[in-house]
Amino acid sequence: MTKADLVEKVADETGFTKTETGVICDKLIDTIKEAVAKGEKIELRRFGTFQLKERKSRMARNPRTGDPVKIPTRKIPVFKVSKLFKDMLD
């Protein structure tokens, strides 16, 4: 399912126009991205949690030369599915 499919389905079920629904979806996604980028945790009950995690620095190897390369600490966004959502999928 693409974003356009999602917008169409939500618009059909809510009575909003596709344009209005698209704007709402865009704003929701932008708000989640901005909050996670600031380090905030977004918890959507019965769905999951978006948050920022820090990966520790580590040593790796350059595949071409075999030389060791230090990969610095970095932050990555993660999504953890809620238990209710997982159970629904079983």
pLDDT value, residue 18 = 96
pLDDT value, residue 14 = 95
pLDDT value, residue 90 = 85
33 & 70 share domain: no
Domain that holds residue 10: 1-38
Strand-strand pairing, 68-71 and 74-81: unpaired
Name which of 62, 63, 40, 64 is nearest 52 in CA terms.
Answer: 40
In the chain, the number of structural domains is 2
22 & 5 share domain: yes
33 & 72 share domain: no
27 & 52 share domain: no
Record the tokens describing residue 72, joined without a space.
Answer: 């610095």
1 & 13 share domain: yes
pLDDT 10s per residue in the chain (90 long)?
Answer: 999 999 999 999 999 999 999 999 999 999 999 999 999 999 999 999 999 999 999 999 999 999 999 999 999 999 999 999 999 998
Q: Tell me, what CATH number does 66's domain have?
A: 4.10.520.10
31 & 52 share domain: no
pLDDT value, residue 2 = 96
